[in-house]
Amino acid sequence: MQISGAEIVVRCLQEEGVEFLFGYPGGAVLEIYDAIFRQDKFKHVLVRHEQAAVHAADAYSRSSDKVGVALVTSGPGATNAVTGIATAYMDSIPMVVISGQVATPAIGLDAFQEVDMVGITRPCVKHNFLVKDVNDIADTIKKAFYIAKSGRPGPVVVDIPKDVTQQRAEFHYPESVHIRSYVPATRGHPGQIKKAINLLLEAKRPYIYVGGGAVQGNAAAEVTELVKSLGLPCTNTLMGLGAYPGSDPQFLGMLGMHGTYEANMAMQYCDVLIAVGARFDDRVISVPSHFLSQPKKIIHIDVDPSSISKRVKVDVPIVGDVKHVLREMLDILRQSGQKPDAGHLAGWWKQIEEWRGHNSLLYTPSTELIKPQYVVEKLYEITGGKAIVASDVGQHQMWAAQYYKFDDPKQWLNSGGLGTMGFGLPAAMGAQLANPDATVACITGEGSIQMNIQELSTCKQYHTPVKIVALNNRYLGMVRQWQEFFYGTRYSESYMDALPDFVKVAEAYGHVGFKIENPSDVEPVLREAFGPALKERLVFLDFRTDQSENVFPMIQNGKGLDQMDLPPHMRDIQQVPFENNRDYGNMC
């Protein structure tokens, strides 16, 4: 029996086991929306802005093992989706975005609501397709899901012209896909794995640096086993948080621009580094030449060969899936029963404990002003460390990363690579739908939340009782911090004036709001918000925090990992002098 292209789209999504489709209708996708109306296998979530549909689908992927899906119309619907697509791309998140396109005969004629979606998204997708024949829809969607989740994951766009959704064809969903030009690696090279093990066993100061690839690759258990069995110190990138338990003593905290003193010092002074699904980002190692000025051997496990030796030349590249590669390493280690030299390791740990003893995340408590760090610490306590935390972008994001100790992967959702303000609320919504029983918090700032605040309406409609923890410093705080440090306190356009009354905003959307101005109210209000009485409600917590608080430690532009700006209590520590490294133009 022949069915319409639109019905084929819907059937494909059903075959893929899609639970939620995040979308927004419009002319080019009306046929698909009609087919959605006539089915009940998956639920459509009507967002209030297409960017939010894509962030929600993205967070649905991040917080589950499934692939999030979004649907947008042509033209403005498609362009609104682009920020969301680029966000997922930078963080290697699997996702399928279906966009409507004008009818094939109209393509290229500057038709109403026409944009070259395939062209616009080409640099920020793993792959994209324009489907020109109704007979190709099923194959293409099958490929899209396969490409999105295999190898190094990423977003895939399927652009479908309206006439193609109206034409009819037989529906047949392929059982498997074979793409001759796309064969992602899985198992690592045995010889390289052997070399890696030998290096680790001979190391005097070994260190493991774990990134988003271990979260995406579901390799937290393997990472933990390796760290434990070899007695290694471990650090996670911003994207890797949760891949190794944040509350474990072998965890040194996050590293990088706002990493802990001990995590960064260990990165600089280790002699053998094993990088696991991490990509030596400029926010992590800063200047490559300075990082390598301390000699070290580097092992790098990554599924994407282009991540290896991109910024830093490595000694033992292992192309493969983290889980597979780590399992093989663990098998070999188990059989041989070998361990690194205990004496060397003890010396290394002694050094690390000395660094750790400085407590670089210490902040000055206050009884007058609410310290943002304190709010995150209390949130951690009150949620038992078990909440899924979605974050926006700014200082609050860094405090969330530093003070909420994530023990499980997929618990921490944030835009690391693109740094997209406005990610938090739609992400929290997507994560709540993927995890209906979980406690979901959105840590945000008064700047970021306003970038997608309209989603309070979507949250109402679909009963996603997320808890918004706004660290409201009345500043674009991260920008203000840079202006304080590097632009002579000229706070150009970083003050958030004319803020709305967030409590009233929340109430206007049918939610609950609290404004918290006293440190002594932080804990009781958090308890109430996360307590049983408000379990089913979205709660907006507007914490008026200390406006002048800065994120420490911090590595300035062009400085090295051992040249941090440290918090006030650590200012007398002698650090390596700054030799004016090349400026990499980091941005906030």
Partner 1 sequence: MRHILSILLENEAGALSRVVGLFSARAYNIDSLTVSTTEDPTLSRMTIVTHGSDEVIEQITKQLNKLIEVVKVIDLNESEHIEREMMLIKVRATGKDREEMKRMADIFRGRIIDVTEKTYTIELTGTSDKLGAFIEAIDRAVILETVRTGASGIGRGERVLKI
Ligand X SMILES: Cc1cc2nc3c(=O)[nH]c(=O)nc-3n(C[C@H](O)[C@H](O)[C@H](O)COP(=O)(O)OP(=O)(O)OC[C@H]3O[C@@H](n4cnc5c(N)ncnc54)[C@H](O)[C@@H]3O)c2cc1C
Q: Which of 149, 152, 162, 296 binds ligand X (CB under 6 A)?
A: 152
- Complex with partner 1: residue 182 or 487, whichever CB lies closer: 182
- Complex with ligand X: residue 238 or 522, whichever CB lies closer: 238
Largest distance between two CA atoms of the chain: 78
To the nearest whole angstrom, how small is the minimum distance from the Cβ of residue 391 to ligand TPP? 10
Q: Does 422 bind Mg ion (CB under 5 A)?
A: no
Using CB atoms within 10 Å of the CB of residue 346, give its burial: 0 to 12 exposed, 13 to 18 middle, 19+ buried.
exposed
Give me the residue label for tokens 């740990």. 349
Q: Does 549 bind ligand TPP (CB under 6 A)?
A: no
The token duo for 517 is 């101005």
Q: Does 124 bind ligand TPP (CB under 6 A)?
A: no
- Complex with partner 1: residue 16 or 302, whichever CB lies closer: 302
DSSP collapsed to 3 states, 423-475: CHHHHHHHHHHHCCCCCEEEEECCCHHHHCCCHHHHHHHCCCCCEEEEEECCE
The token duo for 379 is 């949130």
To the nearest whole angstrom, how small is the minimum distance from the Cβ of residue 102 to ligand TPP? 29
Whole-number Å distance between alpha carbons of 146 and 150: 6
- Complex with ligand X: residue 11 or 149, whichever CB lies closer: 149
- Complex with ligand X: residue 212 or 317, whichever CB lies closer: 212
Contact 434, 63 (CB under 8 A): yes
To the nearest whole angstrom, how small is the minimum distance from the Cβ of residue 397 to ligand TPP? 7
User: Which of 93, 398, 375 minimizes the C-alpha distance to 254?
Assistant: 398
Q: Does 126 bind partner 1 (CB under 8 A)?
A: yes
> Which of ligand TPP, ligand X, partner 1, none sits in contact with 564, Cβ below 5 to 8 A by type?
none
Binding mask 447-476 for ligand TPP (x = CB under 6 A): xx----------------------x-x-xx
Contact 524, 451 (CB under 8 A): no
162 is catalytic: yes
> Which of ligand TPP, ligand X, partner 1, none sits in contact with 180, Cβ below 5 to 8 A by type?
partner 1
Q: Which residues of 27-42 are buried (b: 16+ CB within 10 A; e: fewer)?
A: ebbbbbbebbeeeeeb
The size of the interface with ligand X (CB under 6 A), counted in residues, is 38
Whole-number Å distance between alpha carbons of 50 and 566: 41
Q: Where are the alpha helices (DSSP H) in 293-414?
A: 322-336, 342-357, 372-382, 395-403
| Residue 484: CB atoms within 10 Å | 15
Among positions 446-475, residues that touch Mg ion (CB under 5 A) are: 446-447, 473, 475
Q: Which residues of 508-521 are buried (b: 16+ CB within 10 A; e: fewer)?
A: ebebbbbbbeebee
> Which of ligand X, Mg ion, ligand TPP, none sits in contact with 233, Cβ below 5 to 8 A by type?
none
39 is catalytic: no
The token duo for 128 is 């994209």
Q: Does 477 bind Mg ion (CB under 5 A)?
A: yes
Binding mask 378-417 for ligand TPP (x = CB under 6 A): --------------xxxxx---------------------
Q: Which of 310, 405, 474, 544 binds partner 1 (CB under 8 A)?
A: 310
User: Segment contacting partner 1 (CB under 8 A): 1-9, 123-131, 517-525, 537-545?
Assistant: 123-131
Binding mask 426-445 for ligand TPP (x = CB under 6 A): -------------------x
User: Helix, strand or coil for residue 171?
Assistant: coil
The active-site residue, picked from 2, 39, 112, 517, is: 112
Element (H, E) at 76: helix 76-90
User: Which of 299, 360, 414 minimizes the C-alpha distance to 554?
Assistant: 360
- Complex with Mg ion: residue 178 or 490, whichever CB lies closer: 490
Binding mask 278-297 for ligand X (x = CB under 6 A): xx-x-xx-------------
Element (H, E) at 133: none
Q: Does 292 bind partner 1 (CB under 8 A)?
A: no
Contact 526, 378 (CB under 8 A): yes
> Which of ligand TPP, Mg ion, ligand X, none sits in contact with 240, Cβ below 5 to 8 A by type?
ligand X
- Tell which phi-psi region holds residue 483, choosing left (phi > 0), alpha (psi between -120 and 50) or beta: alpha
523 is catalytic: no
User: Helix, strand or coil for residue 83?
Assistant: helix
The active-site residue, picked from 16, 31, 50, 222, is: 50
The active-site residue, picked from 126, 142, 143, 162, is: 162
50 is catalytic: yes
478 is catalytic: yes
Return the active site residues: 50, 112-113, 162, 478
Binding site for partner 1 (CB under 8 A): 118-119, 122-123, 126-127, 130, 147, 179-182, 304-306, 309-310, 313
Binding site for ligand X (CB under 6 A): 91-92, 152, 211-213, 216-217, 237-240, 254-259, 277-279, 281, 283-284, 302-304, 307, 321-322, 393, 397-398, 416-417, 419, 478, 588
